[in-house]
Structure 1
Amino acid sequence: MPDVIQLIQSTMSADMSRLNTISQNLANANTDGYKREISTQKAFEQELASNGGYKPEASLSVARDMSVGALKYTGNMNNVALTDTGFLKIIHLNGEAYTRRGQLQLSEDGKLVLSTGEEVLGESGPIYLQPESFVIKGDGSIFQKEQLMGKLLIAEGSTQGELNYLGKGMFHSSSPLPQASGEMIIKQGYLEASNVESLREMVGLVTTVRHYESAGQVLKGYDDMLDSAINILGEF
């Protein structure tokens, strides 16, 4: 027979995980290129089948919504947006990382970097440019005065949940993402907004908080019932 207390605690733990996911999404609603996280839980029947019996621990998994956010025109030619799933490959303090936040600039030594300083990789490594305007074609090729200077390295998008958020629209993958093989159209002078819908996240927040509070009340009621039963038995 299932342990009722463990079952309720498991439910409350799952709610806390959902709240953490929702909070992160809301905190990044205005972060360009951010991809919202989605918490899902196995159905009870799936848990029975996979565990060979009942286990009260909640089985939550996190996936990432890779749908493309709204593209907004900035008129700044240092901005780029990807029109399909995929990532710019960058060098982060923790090693190789990925982003869709296309705010670019040149470092002091002429290297193409993000506005926050991370190196943006090309198909042949770092991209070096002259301190003047540049044109980025739809396929990621970068030209200055009609001379090809490099080509942005675009990695495949992932929906499997192995992308860990590093902050500021950047992600780390547990395994390297392969180079994108399909057509990718890159738009210069645009940025991609976060795909977080704040209203939907707020509704989810309220629903989850209410569910957590209800589970807490059930736990307290069950605990009170056990105390009463123990006291009654103690009278005999």
Structure 2
Amino acid sequence: MNIIQQFIKSLYSPETIAKFRMQKIGKTILYVFFLMFLVTIPPAIVLGSGISSIYDKAETHLVNTFPDFTIENGVLHADIDEPIIVEDDGEYIIFDPNGELRIDEINDYGNAFALLEREVAFVSGGIHEGISYQDFGITIAKPELVELVENLGGILPLIIGLLIFFIYVFTTGMKFVGIFALSLIGLFLSKRNAPQLSYKNLWVISAYTVTMPTVLFAIIDILQISIPFSFTIYWVIAIMMLYFVFGHINKPRGATHE
């Protein structure tokens, strides 16, 4: 059975997952990387297009909408009384040198680029990044920043690619942590339901068991549906799926329920 067939079967078949328990660890690790690659593709596309779109709008409004300003000693200075907030096709460009908006409030705008009093903030596809001007350690005026942004456009695909790569590595790492945690839960459950399983068997089973909840919540994230207690629901689904897998593993002769 190839890796795509394993993926499809793991979405709905505890019986098939039970048969994977003798599989080599190396193939299972490769499967986890494959699974996370699949679920990363849609948000990566959304993130990439969002960054490109916001970059184009930010460049336009930086030149045509924002007043003259300077960034000096880590602080944005401009002669305006209230923030400038521009909505452009559902994306927001924000200019606030007076500190009226906090960086955490930028999340409320969904997709946004903001020059705040002490930092620049960017939000797209649920990814929130903020960088303090102090970290740059330079004094810069509007014309110089416009030139910098224009030059940045040439390496924007590289920046997006690196960002997606780091997201993939991080989420894959967290998935391995989750698989380890589920395998420990499986170690406890297996004492009654499948005592003949080794820890290696349990780890392999757990890696395939997380397929269905991982894909389900990836779809929910793409559709931007908010579900209360999503973390708990994920684990309930994963543990139930693991329990069903155990039901398809034959008990050794002489084993009885307590």
**TM-score computed with the length of structure 1 as normaliser:** 0.30
**TM-score computed with the length of structure 2 as normaliser:** 0.28
Q: Which protein is richer in strand relative to its size?
A: 1
